[in-house]
Amino acid sequence: GAVVSQHPSRVICKSGTSVKIECRSLDFQATTMFWYRQFPKQSLMLMATSNEGSKATYEQGVEKDKFLINHASLTLSTLTVTSAHPEDSSFYICSAPADPGLAGTFFLSTDTQYFGPGTRLTVL
């Protein structure tokens, strides 16, 4: 199967600090990963597309200097929330579609996104 992990699962930090969230595809490779944000009882809102080897693409209204994304390898993308404030408290979810031809993707559906379990961020 295709497993995407996120670390940490939950984090509490003080206002003004930075928090890094990792998203890993454990048994397949992905050149693209997506970062979503979900407020309580609301839908997932796409924040940005993480691209391995190039800059991330941010959705309209998402501050790229505040939400730094680094796609370090074909299995890892990180989201850093810089100078976090209470309004950044949310549930952050990543997903990765299987990149055809890369390792581990032969039996996966390439039009399916595989989601991580999410990271609950609370900024005090």
Partner 1 sequence: AQRVTQPEKLLSVFKGAPVELKCNYSYSGSPELFWYVQYSRQRLQLLLRHISRESIKGFTADLNKGETSFHLKKPFAQEEDSAMYYCALSGGLSGFQKLVFGTGTRLLVSP
Binding site for partner 1 (CB under 8 A): 4, 31-32, 34, 42-46, 49, 93, 95, 97, 99, 109-113, 115-118
The distance of closest approach from Cβ of residue 46 to partner 1 in the complex, given in angstroms and rounded to an integer, is 6
DSSP assignment letter at 86: G
Q: With respect to partner 1, which residue has the nearer C-beta, 16 or 100?
A: 100
**Non-local CB neighbours of 85 within 8 Å, separated by 6+ positions:** 15, 16, 123
Q: Which is nearer to partner 1, 13 or 102 (CB)?
A: 102
The answer to whether the CB of 21 falls within 8 A of the CB of 78 is yes
How many CA atoms lie less than 13 Å away from 95 in the CB half-sphere?
Answer: 15
Give the nearest distance from C-beta 87 to partner 1 in angstroms.
20
Residue (15 or 110) nearer to partner 1, CB: 110
